[in-house]
Amino acid sequence: MTPAIITAAICGAETTREMTPHLPITADELAEEAFRCHAAGAAVVHLHVRREDGSPSQDRALFQKAIDAIRARCDIIVQTSTGGAVGMTADERAQPLECGPEMASLNAGSLNFGDDVFLNPFPLVREFARRMREKKIVPELECYDAGHVDSCLWLQSLGVIDGPGHFDFVLGVRGGMAASEANLRFLISKLPAGATFNVAGIGRHQMAMAELSLQLGGHARCGLEDNIYLSKGVLAKGSYELVARVAELARSAGRAVASPSQARALLGIN
Ligand code: KMH
Ligand code: ZN
């Protein structure tokens, strides 16, 4: 079986210090958390950054500082967010692509996101994809709904994004597809031959979706961006505790845990 790539989503844009005191905010805190996640088995860190007051930002300088701090600690793959927070402009969101990440998220379509709307119109997707290709940044195709997979296949047929692609099924957002086994199996059935997939279950679905993905040959994402609890009512002390648990799930599924260099080979990162 292919080694399992664990992605640690350590910060996000919506989780707050009021929700959990364990959220990393400064560049040093983000680097320390990425290092702990790497030690626990993560090969990729999905990165957002914050201003000093904790508010979400896509500021290039803040990203550069965080990336430099992470790279000084370990060789984990840095996947910068181009999603940012709901309501940000495309120009704001694209800034981290200027920081030389190996990977970046590419959100494949729009959806209701709780009471907000997360806008990803095709012109934005095409422009982000163009910049990623120009900079040799490997996109992770963020799909919150089945139509987003179809959109990616259409963009592949137009040559806008390279196939077969690395997909991330984000399941359990209020407004997107629910986190269920039937939904995940359906999404996998839509993938082109040779595609790889990751699953990010939101909230209480995180571990169950990670386990299922690992059993089905996929990869898994966890961390405080998507879920703050280690078990019911018990806050995770950091994303690293969640990564350690997913690493156990991988081994139980008969999968080795991929190192960053194994993940680079699997994801086509040169
Ligand atoms: N914060 C969400 C609205 C991404 O990083 O690409 C979007 C998000 C996706 O987190
Ligand atoms: Zn994100």
Into how many domains does the chain fold?
1
CA of 202 to the centre of ligand 1 (A): 12
Angle, CA 207 vertex, CA 204 and CA 210 arms, to 5°: 130
Strands 138-143 and 234-235: unpaired
Dist CA 42 CA 263 (whole Å)? 10
Considering the domain boundaries, does residue 170 fall inside one?
Answer: yes
Considering the domain boundaries, does residue 131 fall inside one?
Answer: yes
Q: What is the pLDDT of residue 197?
A: 98
Count other C-beta atoms under 10 Å from residue 29's C-beta: 18
What percent of the chain is modeled with pLDDT above 90?
99
Considering the domain boundaries, does residue 150 fall inside one?
Answer: yes
Q: What is the mean pLDDT of residues 73-93?
A: 98
pTM across the whole model: 0.99
Kindly report the CATH number assigned to the domain that includes residue 53. Answer: 3.20.20.70
Give the domain range for residue 70.
6-267
Atom 6 of ligand 1, nearest CA residue: 83
- Residues 6 or more apart whose CB falls under 8 angstroms from that of 197 comprise 166, 167, 168, 169, 187, 188, 191, 213, 218, 219
pLDDT at 66 over 90: yes
Ligand 1 touching residue 113 (CB < 6 A): yes
Taking only the tens place, the pLDDT of each residue in 132-188 is: 999 999 999 999 999 999 999 999 999 999 999 999 999 999 999 999 999 999 999
Atom 7 of ligand 1, nearest CA residue: 83
Atom 10 of ligand 1, nearest CA residue: 83
Q: What is the pLDDT of residue 158?
A: 98
* Ligand 1 nearest atom to the CA of residue 106, by list position: 6
Dist CA 217 CA 184 (whole Å)? 12
| Confidence band for 1, pLDDT divided at 50, 70 and 90 | confident
Considering the domain boundaries, does residue 121 fall inside one?
Answer: yes
Ligand 1 touching residue 83 (CB < 6 A): yes
Q: Is the dihedral of CA 65, 68, 73, 74 positive or negative?
A: positive
Exposed (0-12), middle (13-18) or buried (19+): which is 133, by Cβ within 10 Å?
A: middle
Q: Can you name the residues that pair with 234 across neighbouring β-strands?
A: 231
Considering the domain boundaries, does residue 200 fall inside one?
Answer: yes
Considering the domain boundaries, does residue 1 fall inside one?
Answer: no
For residue 252, the surrounding DSSP H or E stretch is: helix 239-252
